[in-house]
Amino acid sequence: MINPRTSSWSWTFAGRAAGLALALWPPLIGAQEGMQLIHSERSQYRQVLVYEYTDLRCLCFTRYCTIGRQSCIDRRAPDRLVFEYTQMMLGALYLQPDPHDVLVIGLGGGTLPRTLEKLLPQSQIDVVEIDPAVVRVAQQYFSFQADARVHVTVEDGRAYVRRLLRSGGKRYQLIMLDAYEREYIPEHMLTREFLSEVKSLLTPDGIVAANTFSSSRLYQNESVTYRAVFGPFYNLKSNNRVILAANGALPTLDEATRNSRSFSAAFRGLGFTPQSVLALFSTRVDWNQKARVLTDQYSPANLLNGRGT
C-alpha cells in the first residue's frame, strides 16, 4: 500500500455508550423529492435507518434524518469525507503522524477507521461499538470491513477501556472518541474518571481526539474536565467541536504545521486540505474556568445539554 506521507497519489474512490457520531449538518428534507429508505431495523438501542438522497447514502436514527445524520458516504466518491468533523478528527495526525496502534470508540458508518487504514498502512486499528446492528449496517451499506489490521469489538466503550487497563496490556498512540450524538451523550464517557482511564491507555507520546456536540451550557463543564485531565489542548470549532489533547506535553503549533505538510496529497484525495484543519487549531481558553468538573458522581450531561426533564 502506498504511504501517503512519501508519495503523491489519489484515491478513486466514520448504541449509546460506545455509539455513533452525529455530524451537525441540516436534516435531510424533502423526502417526497427523492429520499429513499433502503434499510430499516430496530436494534437493542434504537431504530437504525439508511437513506439514499442524490449522491449520498446516510445512516440515521430518526425518520427522514430529522435530527441529523450519523454518517454519510458519497456514492460517486466513496473516500471523500462528507462531514467536516471527520476532517477535524484527522488533525490528530498533525500531533502524532505515525501511530502504530489506534483505538476508535464509536463506529457509525466506519468512515474514520476505513480512512485511517488507508492513511496509515503500518497501523493496527481497534474499533469498539456497542450496537451489533450498526456494525452490520456499516459492513453492508458503507464499505466498512474488519480485516487483519482493523478489529471490531462489540462492547460498551468504557467497559472496553477498563478491561484493557486491568489486563495491563496494549497501549495506544492515538485514541479517537467518536461516541457522542445529538440526541444523547453517554454521561459515563464524559467524566474525569473516564478521561483519566483513556489517558492511562495512551503511550507517553499518545494523542486523544474527541468529537463532541456540546451545548453552550455543557461546553463549560466539558472544557474544564478535559483541562483537568490533560492540561492545555487544541480546541477545533466549526459546526462541530473536536478536542485534541496529549498524554505528555502538547506538541506546538509549529510541530503540527510541519507534520501537516506530509499529508497534503493524501488529504486532497479525501476532499480537503491540511491547511483548512490547521486554521482551526486554538489553545485559547474560551470557557468559564470555575465551571464544575464532570465526575462519575456528578455527570448530568444530558440535563446540562437540554435533554433532560
Q: What is the dihedral of CA 75, 81, 86, 89, to 10 degrees?
A: 140
8 Å CB contact between 68 and 23: yes
pLDDT (tens digit, 9 = 90+) per residue, 197-243? 999 999 999 999 999 876 667 899 999 999 999 999 999 999 889 99
* 225: its cell numbers: 474536565
286 is catalytic: no
CATH class of 84-304: alpha beta
Phi, psi (5° rounding) for residue 193?
-65, -45
Note the Cα 281 to chain centre separation in Å. Answer: 17
Point out the least confidently predicted range of 26-40, 63-77, 262-276, 278-292.
26-40
- The pLDDT tens digits of the residues spanning 144-153 come to 999 999 999 9
CA distance 82 to 71: 8
| Cα–Cα separations (whole angstroms), residue 241 to 20, 89, 112, 238, 293 | 15, 9, 16, 6, 18
Find the catalytic residue in 178, 205, 254, 286.
178
Q: How confident is the model at residue 2 (pLDDT cuts 50, 70, 90)?
A: very low
Closest to 123 in 3D by CA, of 133, 135, 115, 134: 115
Asked whether the CA dihedral 265, 269, 271, 277 is positive or negative, the reply is negative
- For the chain, helix (H) and strand (E) counts, in that order, are 10, 11
- Give this prediction's pTM: 0.87
Neighbouring residues of 28: CB distance < 8 A, sequence distance ≥ 6: 35, 51, 53, 58, 60, 64, 65, 69
For 247-301, strand residue ranges (E) read: none
pLDDT digits (tens, 9 = 90+) for 71-121: 999 999 999 999 999 999 999 999 999 999 999 999 999 999 999 999 999
Band (pLDDT 50/70/90 cuts) for residue 125 is: very high
Pairing mode of beta strands 234-237, 172-177 = unpaired
Query: Does the pLDDT value for residue 244 go beyond 80?
Result: yes
Mean pLDDT over each residue of the chain, to the nearest integer: 87
Spans of all domains in the chain: 31-74, 84-304
What Rg value do the Cα atoms of the chain yield, rounded? 18
